[in-house]
């Protein structure tokens, strides 16, 4: 069983970027340019590694290898983006890996690109990349390929050696459990469950009773053996169920207008543990967007657009407008879900302004809104 944190360290220790791994300070999948760059690297790494895994490490400073961390990236549908643009797409997996020196809300992202013997290429264009484009890696650089191209397995032995040196141990597992329970979450209720004498799931959160049901907020859930953060959210609430074979997380979001909010089920994540030492994760989207009065939404949408325009012009906001900023992202998301198609783009354009707001909850609310929208559907625009 791979210890993903140890794997990242071993990748970073392997000189610099190479034809089997890349590193990024962060991913930006909100824009066509950001999506295009990501897809180009996936295409190149897949074509350069037909018989072994290849990787992208996210949250690392490019020149110094310093582990900076990035936001928890909850995007189980990232495969849909790859499938939408690449012919012969590789299977990919995005995992959030906890590092002890990072704040609770920061992780290192690990993208694993599975071996693929077929040549991947763009079946349709995006940003400046035309259809039929093929990319490969030459050292640490991604290059377009013209004409015939033959895959080679030059990296197979190197990657296998790195992965073998990243296997888990009892010491790593015990250290992870103790750190989770006694250090990182000593201020809240925490627990653990052992599955099949192999896997350990730890979780922590603040419990609260709502209509007889126990919800947890400020939730952190990790699969300790692989150092994978399965779930993290500052704002959303979850219910947790488990038995000897399965661990179930049901996520709820609080949505509403004018301080009148309700809980809506968003997604159920079921983790099945098998006797043969494997596990699988199934995700089911439960969300049905609430509908609101169109006349009220028109007023709210126009008010929020005006607020964004005022910020873009650098004008001073009133005390009331500063308070309204905290609800801007949630309101624009509700508008988008109710047919105001431009609301999402307006919100994305406002990101730099929201990020610099003095009230940190303004930007946290933005990230939560974008996370929910990503879960619902991958926007190929």
Q: What is the pLDDT of residues 344-366, one digit of tens each?
A: 999 999 999 999 988 988 998 99
Comparing 46 with 102, the larger pLDDT belongs to 46
**Between 3.30.950, 1.10.1740, 3.30.450, 3.40.30, what CATH number should domain 4-164 receive?**
3.30.950
Q: Does 378 score more than 60 pLDDT? A: no
Q: Which residue is it, tokens 């939560």?
A: 368
Q: Does 75 score more than 70 pLDDT? A: no
Report which DSSP code applies to 245.
Answer: S
Tell me the whole-structure pTM to 2 decimals: 0.74
Q: Does 29 score more than 80 pLDDT? A: yes
**In the predicted model, what is the mean pLDDT of residues 65-86?**
86
Mean pLDDT over each residue of the chain, to the nearest integer: 88
Angle, helices 32-48 vs 78-85, to 10°: value is 80
Residues 135/144, Cβ–Cβ less than 8 Å: yes
Tell me the C-alpha distance between 310 and 315, whole Å: 6
Residues 270/239, Cβ–Cβ less than 8 Å: no
| pLDDT tens string 97-122 | 988 788 878 899 999 999 999 999 99
Which CA distances in Å does 100 have to 182, 191, 232, 274?
13, 19, 15, 29
Q: How confident is the model at residue 200 (pLDDT cuts 50, 70, 90)?
A: very high
Neighbours of 118 (CB within 10 A): 13
pLDDT at position 288: 86
Tell me the C-alpha distance between 266 and 286, whole Å: 5
pLDDT at position 15: 60
Rg (CA), the chain: 22
**Residue in 77, 65, 63, 68 with CA at minimum distance from that of residue 35:** 77
37: which residues sit within 8 A by CB, 6+ positions away? 28
pLDDT at position 381: 43
Q: Is 69 helix (H, G, I), strand (E, B) or coil?
A: coil
Indicate the length of the chain as a whole number.
381
pLDDT at position 331: 93
Q: How confident is the model at residue 33 (pLDDT cuts 50, 70, 90)?
A: very high
Distance of CA 127 to the CA centre of its chain: 22
Which CA distances in Å does 143 have to 57, 134, 236?
19, 8, 41
pLDDT at position 380: 43
Which CA distances in Å does 91 have to 29, 116, 222?
18, 8, 23
The strand pairing partners of 113, in sequence order, are 54, 92
- The structure tokens listed for 93 are 């997996």
pLDDT at position 276: 78
Percentage, residues of the chain above pLDDT 70: 97
Q: Does 150 score more than 80 pLDDT? A: no
| pLDDT tens string 266-307 | 999 999 999 878 888 888 889 888 888 899 999 999 999 999
Helices (H), the chain: 4-13, 32-48, 78-85, 156-164, 170-178, 294-312, 319-337, 343-349, 351-355, 360-376
pLDDT at position 76: 65
């Amino acid at each position: 069983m791979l210890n993903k944190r140890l794997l990242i360290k071993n990748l970073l220790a392997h000189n610099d970027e190479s034809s089997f791994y890349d590193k990024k300070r962060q991913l930006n999948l909100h824009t066509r340019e950001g999506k295009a760059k990501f897809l180009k690297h996936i295409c190149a790494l897949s074509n350069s590694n037909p018989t072994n895994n290849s990787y992208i490490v996210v949250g690392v400073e490019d020149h110094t290898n310093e582990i900076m961390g990035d936001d928890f990236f909850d995007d189980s549908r990232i495969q849909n983006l790859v499938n939408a643009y690449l012919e012969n797409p590789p299977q990919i997996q995005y995992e959030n890996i906890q590092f002890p020196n990072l704040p609770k809300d920061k992780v290192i992202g690990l993208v694993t690109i599975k071996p693929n013997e077929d040549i991947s290429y763009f079946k349709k264009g995006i940003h400046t990349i035309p259809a039929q484009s093929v990319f490969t890696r030459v050292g640490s650089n991604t290059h377009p390929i013209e004409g015939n191209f033959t895959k080679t397995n030059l990296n197979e032995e190197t990657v296998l050696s790195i992965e073998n040196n990243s296997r888990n141990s009892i010491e790593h597992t015990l250290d992870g459990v103790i750190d989770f329970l006694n250090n990182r979450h000593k201020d809240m209720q925490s627990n653990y469950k052992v599955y099949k004498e192999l896997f350990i799931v730890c979780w922590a959160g603040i419990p609260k009773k709502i209509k007889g049901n126990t919800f947890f907020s400020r939730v952190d859930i990790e699969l300790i053996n692989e150092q994978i953060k399965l779930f993290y959210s500052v704002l959303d609430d979850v219910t947790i169920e488990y038995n000897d074979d399965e661990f179930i997380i049901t996520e709820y979001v609080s949505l509403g207008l004018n301080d009148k909010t309700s809980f809506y089920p968003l997604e159920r994540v079921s983790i099945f543990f098998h006797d043969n030492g494997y596990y699988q994760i199934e995700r089911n989207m439960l969300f049905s967007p609430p509908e609101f009065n169109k006349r009220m939404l028109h007023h709210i949408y126009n008010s929020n657009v005006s607020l964004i325009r005022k910020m873009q012009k650098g004008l001073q906001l009133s005390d009331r407008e500063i308070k309204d900023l905290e609800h801007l992202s949630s309101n624009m998301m509700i508008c988008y879900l109710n047919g105001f198609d431009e609301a999402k783009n307006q919100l994305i354009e406002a990101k730099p302004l929201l990020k610099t707001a003095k009230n940190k909850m303004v930007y946290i609310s933005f990230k939560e809104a974008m996370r929910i929208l990503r879960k619902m559907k991958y926007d190929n625009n």
